[in-house]
Structure formats: structure tokens, C-alpha cells
Structure 1
Amino acid sequence: MAARSRAALAPVLRDIDAVVCDTDGVITDSAKVHAAAWKTAFDTFLAGHPPTDPAQRRPFDSHDDYLRYVDGRSRLDGAAAFLASRGLDPTAETVRAVAADKERLFTERLRERGVDAFEGTLRLVRALRAAGVPVAAASASRHARELLTRAGALDLFTALVDGGEAARLGLAGKPRPDLFLEAARRLGVPPDRAAVVEDALAGVEAGRNGGFALVVGVDRAARPDTRARLLRHGADLVVDDLGELLDQQGADGGGTPR
């Protein structure tokens, strides 16, 4: 790789040969749409099926519960994890019904409002491409291709592994590393030479479980508790925006990872 091209990247990325980025919350500003859809679906279910323990009857928290139980997971895994956290033991049919309600709500909001890509992420991906470092997008969501297309970002990525591909290949969900390992395989780079970028606790844990050389956590909320959780679950470093992974001297508008 040309030294001049690598100089645009923060030092932590200069020995990395490939990067795998989660989609929701890392590339596209869609995590809040997912969270809102989950809140409506869960709160509706809890209203009709209140937990036995009054302390567990509180509404779904779009930050804490979303990050802890559903962010980065498949719909079915996320629905089951949250309902279990409220002391419920729902049937597979109930889990599918709640997940389907969330899917309907998310799709409606996506069609109505669309999503944008984070500018800092786009700048970093362009700098990586200029340095000859391939970048893959990965997501447990079946909507990843549509999200990236609507945001005008799909062509920036060498490979995409989404929820549809994960189901077709029988890949286990996060925190298992299967999704990221498949993305790295498609880029032709072993995980110990690649980085994972994630905003979800299950996602950074998956990156660590997969033996990736670098796991970057993204904290869009910029909250101390979120940063600490990401580090605790396996992130090597946490940034508020991926523009921080551009070198201040070598790239326009970059910053220093904290």
C-alpha cells in the first residue's frame, strides 16, 4: 500500500488490511428507526401481556433496552431476549408475532422517511478505498441493501452480508462472529488482519469472539455508560464518529480516537 494513502488513516488502522462495518448505526442513521419500531411493538405487547412482577411492567427503553437486548441481533433473537428480560416465557409463535409487528412498523417508517448515511463514515470508507483497503458492510437486518441503496452508499462497499444472506448460509447471530467472518472471507482477508466496526454490544462481542485484529465501538449517543459497556464487551477503542479514524494531518476534518 502506498504510504501517502495510508497517511490519511489514523495510526490504529494503518496495519489493517480490511474493514467490516455494521450497517445500522455505523453506516446509516437507521438505528433510531429500529429502536422506535421496537418500542411500539414491545409496549403494545406488554400492555396486553403485563409481567407478573410489577417492577418489570415498565415500557421498553429506546436506549438502554435497545442496546442491551436487541441492537445487532436478528429480530427473533432480539424479541426473545427482551421478553425474557421482563420475566416472560413466550412461545415461538409469540416471538414471531412481536418480531413481525416490529418489521411492519420499521418498513412503514423506512418507506416514509428513508435514511441518511453518516458523513464521517463515508469519509473514512473513501479514505480506506483510496489506500487499497477493502470494506464490507454486514448486518443482521434483511433491509441492509435497501438502506445502503437509499443512502447512496452501496457502491462504496466491496461486499455485503445481510440478514438474507445470513439465513441462506445458516450463519449464527451475534454475539457469534459468523456474520463478520463471512464478510472478511469475501474480502479475502483473515480476521487477524481485519477490523470490525460496531455500535452494538453484541456486535463488538462478536468481533472479539471472531479474533479480529481491531474492534472499534461507535457510541452515537456519546454517553459514558455506553462507552464503558462497549469497551467491556470487547471494543479496543470507542469513537463518537468514524471521522475520528482519519488522521488530522493526513485527511481533511479528521480527529483522534479516544
Structure 2
Amino acid sequence: MRYELVIFDNDGVLVDSEVLSNTLLAGYLTELGHPTTLEESIRDYMGAAMHRVHDLVFERSGQRLPEDFDEVFHARVFAAFERELQAVDGVVEVLEKLSADGVAYCVGSSGSHERIRVGHRKTGLDRWFGAGEGAGRVFSAQDVGRGKPAPDLFLYAAQRMGVAPERCVVVEDSPLGVRAARAAGMDVYGFTAMTPAERLEGADGLFSDMRELPVLLAEKS
């Protein structure tokens, strides 16, 4: 079997943003009276859309986050991205290999389109996912009714790219993303550079160096 579409999660898979953004999220929630550590933020919110933050805080505290929570948080994240964000080591080589082999690829991210664009512009990945041949390859939880772990985002990406779900493979680093890929009927490989392997239970394969991914994909060709 040859995969016809590789769907990449964005944060932690394409851009090295998870520690950066979760540090800011934990700090902001703590400021607002909802004490949260970095480890708790990663455990509870990594790979999730922003509505999960609102839902879990309300479920646990009975309090709503401020109406401008998303706006303030994203402003802090974007400022940090401009200062510090880098592409995941080895991901450019993977994209070059996929392009050379004629395998389609896209992004399926819980992040907003603006967050994805800012990160890609800062890291140079907009070359692969921005204008020209890269246009139309970015899909966000904003595009669908339900974010991960629902399968909607990955199914939407596959439909827009014109590939059947069973011909797709997802690259994820979060438990929610693995569950979403499984629910979509897609194979999924778990990236363990930051996430403990045991948290990605259900993945078809695990790898810790992005340069290992083409080998895993070739094994299914």
C-alpha cells in the first residue's frame, strides 16, 4: 500500500512550539486564578483546540474564562513565536522527500489559521504550505465543527485533498490526535520527541527523530 496523503499535525510536529505555547498557557491560566503547571497544560491541552481550555476550566471551577482570553493568549504566543520559534529538526528534509516522491501532504491542526501562518512564516515553512504549490494545504479546527479527538478535521482535510481516508497517514504527537486519526480510519505515526511513547498508544508506529519518518512510510509502500 502506498499512502497518497500525509497529514501533519502542526504544533510539535512541524514547528517546535509545544513547550513554548504551553508555558504561556499555564502561566496565563495561573494568572487568572486557575493554577496550572507546564506539565498539566501539556497533559490536558496539548493537541486540542482552544474550546477545550474553556470547557475544562469551566468543568473544574464553574468559572468562565474572560471573553478576550483567546485574543490575549494568542497575542502572547505570536510574540513568543517571533522571538524563539523554530521548525522541528529534520522536517524540511521530510517535506523535500515527499515532494520529490510526488506524495501529497497537508496540515491538520487544532491551532487557528492565524497561529499556523505566523509559525510557518517565522520558520520558513510557508514555502511548503503558503503560496504557490503550497496553497490550500492548511486545515484548521476552525474549519470544522469539532476538533480533535473527533475525526472531523482529518476527514475534512482528506476530502479537500481528494484522497480516501484509508489512503491517508497522520503524523501526530498528541494522544488526542492519535485518537482522531484512528476515528477517521487513518493510519497514524506517533512522534515521540516530546511526548512519552506510552501516551501515544494506538499509533501504528513511533519515532523520535523526524528523519525516521520516510523510512516508516516506505515500509507501507
Q: TM-score, normalised by structure 1?
A: 0.73
Report whether the alignment pairs 1:35 with 2:22. yes
Cα distance in 2, alignment partners of residues 133 and 140 from structure 1: 23
Select which of 39, 42, 61 maps to 1:88.
61
Report whether the alignment pairs 1:236 with 2:212. no
Select which of 122, 131, 139 maps to 1:150.
122
Query: Which secondary structure state, in structure 2, belongs to the residue aligned with residue 197 of structure 1?
Result: strand
Correspondence list, 1:43-82, <5 A: 43-46=30-33, 59-63=35-39, 65-82=40-57
Report if aligned partners of 2:6, 2:170 keep a CA contact under 8 Å in 1.
yes
Report whether the alignment pairs 1:195 with 2:165. no
Query: Which secondary structure state, in structure 2, belongs to the residue aligned with residue 119 of structure 1?
Result: coil
Cα distance in 2, alignment partners of residues 104 and 62 from structure 1: 19
Between the aligned residues of both structures, percent identity stands at 27
Correspondence list, 1:1-258, <5 A: 15-46=2-33, 59-63=35-39, 65-82=40-57, 84=59, 87-91=60-64, 94=65, 96-111=67-82, 113-142=83-112, 143-157=115-129, 158=134, 159-162=137-140, 166-167=141-142, 169-212=143-186, 214-221=187-194, 226-231=196-201, 234-247=202-215
Segments of 5+ residues of structure 1 without an aligned counterpart are 1-13, 50-58, 251-255
Q: TM-score, normalised by structure 2?
A: 0.84
How many residues matched?
210
Report if aligned partners of 1:175, 1:206 keep a CA contact under 8 Å in 2.
yes
Shift of 1:138: 2.0
C-alpha change, 1:203 and 1:16, in structure 2 (3 Å) is: same
Segments of 5+ residues of structure 2 without an aligned counterpart are none
Deviations 1:119-168 (A, max 9, x none): 32221121111111011012121210221122111232441113xxx43x
Cα RMSD (Å) of the superposition?
2.4
Shift of 1:16: 1.2
Cα distance in 1, alignment partners of residues 145 and 208 from structure 2: 29
Report if aligned partners of 2:48, 2:110 keep a CA contact under 8 Å in 1.
yes
Look up the equivalent residue of 1:125 and give its one-letter code: L
